[in-house]
């Protein structure tokens, strides 16, 4: 049963409430946007996150509004967006983007036990830098106290995915304008060693994997419909 809070209205055929579809997008993302209301004022804050297949973790210093306001039970809306392509139609009206996106609504909860916080921090680290957790100094108890970790369930979530070429009005296919898809994706460049590191130290192999992990699909397949 899909809750009304996450039911997609426009192009519902490209929506999915399937946990696997939601998870595949949350696993591929790097940044989420967290929406919440503080004393009547809505805020949307970009932040790193972790996803362990079940819940989203975010972290920050206690002084930031994001962390300060999101006490136990505070309602939030978290979004993750992967832009896969610019869809150029013959008409400006039918221009669109190919994308994979997720909207999660639910209550945030602050983790207090050290073991729980470490699990959340590891999820955040693994999200973008798999392998790094085992190749860096772990947080000290003092650092752990200075870091708040929040968890948000993903049980109430929707995914929306657009793929494929533009869909113009039938009479516009006779127009001369170029039409098609410009693939977009996030790519990692070559690692730049810290100048304070001894020279000649090779980059760890997991940095190569980061490049593959954050790259989205380059070319989207045909789709019978479109959206904007
Ligand atoms: C890619 C990315 C990853 C990040 N990862 C983390 C993370 O893991 N943990 C974390 O705590 N923070 C992260 N941040 C920073 C985060 O967006 C906030 O800046 C942070 O939560 C602290 O905000 P603050 O205390 O300065 O301000 P707040 O008290 O949160 O906000 C005060 C005001 O500052 C402005 N502001 C705050 N943040 C931004 C921003 N990012 N861009 C523009 N204006 C802003 C807004 O106007 C806001 O109303 C990340 C930001 C980006 C872009």
Helix H or strand E encompassing 113: none
Q: Closest Cα to atom 44, ligand 1: which residue?
A: 45
pLDDT, position 25: 97
Tell me how far the alpha carbon of residue 27 is from its chain's centroid.
Answer: 8
Phi, psi of 104, deg, nearest 5: -120, 135
CA of 220 to the centre of ligand 1 (A): 33
Query: How far is Cα 15 from Cα 131, in angstroms, rounded to an integer?
Result: 33
Query: How far is Cα 26 from Cα 80, in angstroms, rounded to an integer?
Result: 7
Counting beta carbons within 10 angstroms of the beta carbon of residue 176, is it exposed (0 to 12), middle (13 to 18) or buried (19 or more)?
exposed
Which residue's structure tokens are 């869909």? 167
pLDDT, position 215: 54
Question: Any residues with CB less than 8 A from the CB of 120 and at least 6 apart, and which?
Answer: 50, 57, 59, 111, 149, 150, 151
Percentage of the residues of the chain whose pLDDT score is greater than 70: 92
Q: What is the pTM of this model?
A: 0.89
Out of 49-53, 62-66, 203-207, 211-215, least confident range: 211-215
CA of 179 to the centre of ligand 1 (A): 38
């Amino acid at each position: 049963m899909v809750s009304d809070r996450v039911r997609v209205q426009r192009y519902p055929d490209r929506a999915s409430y399937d946990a696997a579809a939601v998870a595949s997008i949350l696993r591929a993302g790097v940044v989420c946007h967290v929406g919440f209301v503080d004393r009547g004022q809505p805020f949307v804050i970009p932040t790193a996150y972790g996803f362990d297949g079940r819940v989203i973790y975010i972290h920050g210093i206690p002084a930031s509004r994001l962390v300060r306001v999101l006490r136990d039970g505070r309602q939030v809306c978290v979004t993750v967006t992967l832009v896969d392509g610019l869809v150029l139609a013959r008409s400006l009206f039918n221009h669109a983007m190919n994308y994979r996106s997720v909207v999660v609504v639910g209550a945030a909860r602050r983790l207090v036990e050290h073991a729980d916080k470490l699990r959340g921090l590891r999820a955040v680290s693994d999200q973008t830098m798999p392998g790094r957790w085992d190749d860096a100094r772990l947080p000290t108890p003092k650092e752990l106290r200075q870091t708040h970790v929040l968890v948000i369930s993903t049980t109430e979530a929707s995914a929306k995915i657009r793929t494929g070429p533009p869909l113009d009005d039938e009479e516009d296919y006779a127009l001369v304008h170029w039409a098609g898809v410009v693939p977009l994706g996030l790519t990692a460049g070559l690692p730049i060693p810290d100048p304070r590191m001894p020279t000649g130290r090779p980059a760890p192999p997991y940095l190569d994997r980061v490049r593959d992990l954050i790259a989205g699909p380059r070319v989207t397949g045909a789709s019978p419909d479109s959206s904007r």
